[in-house]
């Protein structure tokens, strides 16, 4: 029996009536991890003994009346670039950066205080700087047992762990889609918080002005439960679909969605309209300019995180995809970087103004389904795939909005993602909208 078949809330109810224990749930997940790790390779490190000891202690505490809330006893996973005491922080790179690695930060401490059981750390792409690495195939996407399919990244280990039911939820980071892209390609929900909602202290930075924290779970409802437990909101989760106003982001000329994704999106829009949602096509603000800004700002900030001398000396040791991104703006003048940040602030104000009159924006999370990994036969193809797969998610980080990707059905059977985008700081409202849509699309 799956202790989380009814989600995190269902587990909490069963835990409190004595139908299940945290130790039992933790044992179940650890057994699945041990069985699947040789193939799926979702985890970097697993802390089996420590996790079981923590689960037993939490069960004992609950029996004595110490109830820590909705996440008590819930076994979780943490992306490896997020420091966890006893496991450290890793960046999946041979480049020496031990002096830059952070100690455990406020978010992980908050999860511990809420009673979460940390099972281990999940794999990331190198420095979380790209959605794919060339030399490292990454974890196996569990949507297809026979063919290794692309997972996206960089929080792909977290997405695979959730999709394969190896944890109740996983924590990731999102600088340009690193939570939402793997969520879409692995068929799970992935919530990217507004930057600053959860502290990034204790996380190895990729680009500090774009980095934000996120959660991957099997449902929007579970993402909302986690978000509300870490930062409680008085807003109710229920919201009516009738009269909801969504802006449907248009595709750029010459860059259509793959046919299967377009069909899934069209079907979803039709269901929403039948439920009384008002869907209005809109032009994405400054699409080309924003894409160009991101492509310069992210590597420029990363070069300053590592230090230009260290990065220049170590480029040859990096994965080719990482190196191509990291080296792009290694010599950017500080005045030019400041100008990029000022332009970013302007785009954020424009996006906030353009959202007036809408409850949220919507569109496909990625323009494609999870294709076979071996279809990328050259480094150039891998770089092109990396650029294309995140074209819908990167603007959200530039605009400093909140967003969530949720699974939508496709006629091919492989997952696609619907991305919902909310205003800066209005995460509870976005999660309420997403939960209402989830109940429409997945009524079970």
Give catalytic residue positions: 79, 154, 178
What percent of the residues of the chain are helix, what percent strand, and what percent coil, each to the nearest 5? 45, 15, 40
Q: How many helices (H) and strands (E) does the chain have?
A: 15, 11
Contact between 58 and 147 under an 8 Å Cβ cutoff? The reply is: no
Task: Compute the distance between CA of residue 108 and CA of residue 113 in angstroms, rounded to an integer.
Answer: 9
What are the helix (H) ranges across 232-333? 259-274, 287-306, 308-314, 320-326
Question: Which residue in the block uniquely carries the two structure tokens 């954020």?
Answer: 348
Whether 365 and 188 have beta carbons less than 8 Å apart is answered as no
Cα 31 from chain centroid?
A: 25
Euclidean distance between CA atoms 149 and 108, whole angstroms: 31
Determine whether 285 is exposed, middle or buried from the number of CB atoms within 10 Å of its CB (0-12, 13-18, 19+): middle
Pairwise CA distance, residues 208 & 302, whole Å: 8
Q: How many residues does the chain have?
A: 444
**Under a CB-based contact definition with an 8 Å cutoff, are residues 160 and 194 in contact?**
no
State the Cα–Cα distance between residues 323 and 68, nearest whole angstrom.
Answer: 44
């Amino acid at each position: 029996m799956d202790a989380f078949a009814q989600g995190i809330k269902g587990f909490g109810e069963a835990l409190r009536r004595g139908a299940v224990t945290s130790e039992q749930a933790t044992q179940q997940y650890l057994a699945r991890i041990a069985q699947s790790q040789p193939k799926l390779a979702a985890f970097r490190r697993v802390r089996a003994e420590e996790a079981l000891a923590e689960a037993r202690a939490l069960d004992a505490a609950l029996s004595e009346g110490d109830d820590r809330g909705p996440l008590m006893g819930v076994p979780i996973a943490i992306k490896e670039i997020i420091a966890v005491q006893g496991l450290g922080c890793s960046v999946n790179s041979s480049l020496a950066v031990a002096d830059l690695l952070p100690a455990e930060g406020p978010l992980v401490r908050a999860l511990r205080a809420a009673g979460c059981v940390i099972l281990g750390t999940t794999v990331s792409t190198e420095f979380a700087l790209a959605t794919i690495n060339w030399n490292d195939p990454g974890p196996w996407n569990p949507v297809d047992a026979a063919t290794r399919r692309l997972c996206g990244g960089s929080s792909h280990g977290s997405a695979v762990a959730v999709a394969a039911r190896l944890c109740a939820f996983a924590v990731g980071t999102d600088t340009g889609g690193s939570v939402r892209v793997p969520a879409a390609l692995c068929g799970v929900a992935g919530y990217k918080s507004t930057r600053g909602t959860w502290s990034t202290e204790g996380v190895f930075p990729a680009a500090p002005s774009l980095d934000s924290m996120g959660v991957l779970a099997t449902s929007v409802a579970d993402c909302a439960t986690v978000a509300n437990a870490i930062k409680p909101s008085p807003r109710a989760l229920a919201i009516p679909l009738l009269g909801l106003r969504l802006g449907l982001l248009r595709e750029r000329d010459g860059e259509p969605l793959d046919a299967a994704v377009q069909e899934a999106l069209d079907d979803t829009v039709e269901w929403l309209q039948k439920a009384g949602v008002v869907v209005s096509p809109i032009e994405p603000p400054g699409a080309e300019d924003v894409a160009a800004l991101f492509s310069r700002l992210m590597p420029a900030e990363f070069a300053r995180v590592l230090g230009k001398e260290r990065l220049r000396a170590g480029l040859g040791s990096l994965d080719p995809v990482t190196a191509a991104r990291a080296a792009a703006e290694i010599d950017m003048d500080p005045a030019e970087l400041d100008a990029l940040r000022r332009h970013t602030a302007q785009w954020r104000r424009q996006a906030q103004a353009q959202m007036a009159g809408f409850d949220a924006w919507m569109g496909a999370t990625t323009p494609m389904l999870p294709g076979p990994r071996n279809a990328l036969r050259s480094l150039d193809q891998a770089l092109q795939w990396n650029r294309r797969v995140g074209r819908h998610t990167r603007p959200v980080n530039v605009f400093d909005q909140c967003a969530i990707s949720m699974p939508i059905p496709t006629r091919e059977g492989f997952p696609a993602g619907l991305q919902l985008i909310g205003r800066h700081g209005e995460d509870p409202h976005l999660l309420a909208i997403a939960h209402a849509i989830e109940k429409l699309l997945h009524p079970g």
